[in-house]
Amino acid sequence: MKNEFNLAFNEVLEEKQLPKEVILGALESAMVSAYRRAVNASSAQHVEAKVDPETGRVMVFAEKEVVESTVDVRTEVTLEEARKVNPLAQLGDMVIVESTPKDFGRVAAQTARQVIQQRIREAERGAQMQYFERQLGEIVSGVVQATNLQSTTIGLDMKAEGVMPSNQKIPGERFRVHDRVRSIIMEVKDGSRGPQIILSRAHRNFLRRLLENEVPEIYHGIVEIRAIAREPGQRAKVAVSATQAGVDPVGACVGVRGVRIQAIVKELHDEKIDIIEWNADPVVYISKAISPARVSGVFLTEGEKTATVVVMEDQLSLAIGRDGQNARLAAKLTGWRIDIKSVSEAAADTLTRLQMEPAFEAAAQAEKDNLAHIGEILAKKAESRPLTPEEYQALAQFVERVERRTFETQRAAAQESAEKLADARAGIPDAAFEQSLDVFGLPEHVYNILTEADYLSAGDLLLALKVKPDQVFSLPGIGPKAMQAIDKAVQETTFAAPVSEGAPAVEAELPAQEAEVVAAPVEVSSPEETPAAEVVEPEAAQPVEAEPVAPVTGEEPAQEASFEELFKLRPESFRPATEEEELKADKKGKKGKKSVIYQYDESRGEVVIHKKHKRGGGGDDWIDE
């Protein structure tokens, strides 16, 4: 038969809905606190408590020092008692022994009640926090406990409470105490009195979750919600698409005789919902987003992401909507700025542009035969005389022809600009786009201005100077002196292509009578400093072949030439380095590097390699090989 402790323990488990280990941990922690308070033990002493859930027996274990004779039983234990626990215990060791006081159950019940309650409350808060963090963005159902002008308090599962601010309600809704309300969890924050749960019925994701619950095709991924635009309590637009062929996404969401969408409309306090089919073509997508109005034409300006929507006169108010609501929701849904015009207004604007703006001269020439007729129709409209359907059709076709021609012209100009940019990009070394602006050594204030303008690499700056130099000059803080500094730095800078890992280093081809040589002194790092490159040195017994290396400037490498031709073109390159050049090389070089110069020796009739090595006294020696 179960004892009273076991019955009480199971009752707490059922009431608090907490794991058994959590309740036992709270009890054991409370017993430790009760023991410290009962015997006045130090907080530095290690104390453990064990509770038997079957019998309710409590045992306390404390860490004590092994001594010959005890003076303070709270912290000391005799060697004999210690060896009952640990047979290997010695004097001075620390052992954990049972130290349960007499009549500890009654004392613990009186002193540990508050600690147990506090630990259980903390465990409840932690469980609530974990549970509702997993429910973030999901629909929950609760009962209204209190409501006022500022917020509504709703009771949720696990004895938690959620708060719905007034701006997260659907306008026009009125809640009464004990009403059951559905909402989504918008935010969960950890508070001193438990988790603070913010609920919402006005968020667009609430409509998304309702559609997932009512439409099985959306829940299973057959129909996908692409975008939602919503003004709570008034109107919403939802763009859907099918992921499988042969599925009507709009029909799946509406249901037979609208039964599915009607259930959602009722939940949202009679909010009107427009379900449209998403399309990858912006023209078709925007035309459907303006529904229920019928669209005569949609004309895009892609650079500004603006769409001009032309509708008939009788469809203008329907396309705009009450207080511009329909146009506003369509713009949110599509992500385009939408400008709605009537056919006559669009035709008048187009006619004005053809007559006034030079950019439309070509279109004006193409439409010169129709301009007089269009002007007559617009004059008739201005006099408030009725137009025939044929005249409306002529205005719509006129606008469509001009807008289409304008769009094709803009697209051709954009393509030409892209080709110019590609040509300019091809003339810049790839290495320039991999190096930062530091390579130019610009003044600090110029460097800061360029980096703030998103010129992050040297190639970005070179491309801008080549395509749009005025754009760089127009930056705030960039004047004539700064531009001179930039031009000078660009002219003096060359870009070396980075050596890929495992790529062979520069080799040299040295035949007996003629050789191909580098045009300037080259510093070759030792293998210890540049492990990615392999340094190949010529041997004395046999000639070593290598290609001549020229400074990397982004131009096409020159064809191979004989030594006599190179000597005639650049005789100054085949001389020993001057003292000034050696000094510069020493300053620029790093520890472990050595300089190499190829020189043609007329007396020997061959190219001699001069290598500079450090002497023991700190000087340099040139060694011939």
- What is the per-residue pLDDT for 610? 58
Indicate the range of 308-312, 330-334, 423-427 predicted with least confidence.
423-427
What are the residues facing 241 on neighbouring strands?
A: 224
Cβ neighbors of 283 (< 8 A, separation 6 or more) are: 298, 300
The residue type found at 84 is K
- Closest Cα partner for 131 from 106, 154, 160? 160
Has residue 445 got a pLDDT over 90?
no
Report pTM.
0.59
Has residue 199 got a pLDDT over 70?
yes
With beta carbons less than 8 A apart as the criterion, state whether 227 and 278 touch: yes
Angle at CA of residue 317, ends 313 and 320, nearest 5°: 120
- φ and ψ at 490, to 5 degrees? -65, -40
Long-range contacts at 254-260 (CB < 8 A, ≥ 24 apart): 255/214, 255/215, 260/214, 260/215
- What is the per-residue pLDDT for 600? 54
Over its C-alpha atoms, the chain yields an Rg (Å, rounded) of 43
Average pLDDT, the chain: 77
> b/e per residue, 612-624, with b = 16+ CB within 10 A?
beeeeeeeeeeee
pLDDT tens-place string over residues 342-366: 999 999 988 888 888 887 888 888 8
Of 70-84, 252-266, 291-305, 411-425, where does the model show the most confidence?
252-266
Of 45-54, 223-232, 432-441, 501-510, where does the model show the most confidence?
223-232
- Report how far residue 556's alpha carbon sits from residue 276's, in angstroms, rounded to the nearest whole number: 56
The CATH number, out of the four listed (3.40.50.2300, 2.40.37.10, 2.40.50.140, 3.40.50.720), of the domain defined by the range 135-202: 2.40.50.140
Class of domain 290-398: alpha beta
Q: What DSSP letter does each residue of 50-105 carry, written as one string? A: EE-TTT--EEEEEEEEEESS-S-TTTEEEHHHHHHH-TT--TT-EEEEE-PPTTHH
pLDDT tens-place string over residues 367-403: 888 888 888 999 988 988 888 989 999 999 988 888 8
- What is the per-residue pLDDT for 234? 92
As a whole number, mean pLDDT of residues 65-93 equals 85
CATH architecture of the domain formed by 430-492:
Orthogonal Bundle (1.10)
Domain ranges of the chain: 4-119, 135-202, 290-398, 430-492, 522-624
As a whole number, mean pLDDT of residues 523-528 equals 39
- Closest Cα partner for 309 from 342, 344, 278? 342
With beta carbons less than 8 A apart as the criterion, state whether 167 and 136 touch: no
Half-sphere exposure of 487 (CA within 13 A, CB side): 10
Has residue 278 got a pLDDT over 80?
yes
* Percentage of the residues of the chain whose pLDDT score is greater than 70: 75
- What is the per-residue pLDDT for 545? 42
Domain 4-119 has CATH 1.10.540.10: no
Which residue has better confidence, 424 or 154? 154
- What is the per-residue pLDDT for 518? 34
- Report how far residue 586's alpha carbon sits from residue 581's, in angstroms, rounded to the nearest whole number: 9
Q: Which residue has tokens 């982004």?
A: 554
The residue type found at 474 is S
CB count in 10 Å sphere of residue 130: 11
- Closest Cα partner for 599 from 611, 585, 588, 609? 609
Under DSSP, is residue 254 helix (H, G, I), strand (E, B) or coil? Answer: helix
* Percentage of the residues of the chain whose pLDDT score is greater than 90: 28
Has residue 537 got a pLDDT over 90?
no
- Asked if omega into 292 is within 30° of 0 (cis), the reply is yes
- φ and ψ at 11, to 5 degrees? -65, -40
Token pair, residue 612, equals: 């500079």
pLDDT tens-place string over residues 203-253: 999 999 999 999 999 999 999 999 999 999 999 999 999 999 999 999 999
Has residue 196 got a pLDDT over 60?
yes
With beta carbons less than 8 A apart as the criterion, state whether 129 and 160 touch: no
Work out the pLDDT band at 501, boundaries 50, 70, 90. very low
Strands 337-342 and 306-311: parallel
Domains 4-119 and 135-202 share a fold: no
Under DSSP, is residue 279 helix (H, G, I), strand (E, B) or coil? Answer: coil
pLDDT tens-place string over residues 546-581: 344 344 344 444 444 444 444 444 444 444 445 555
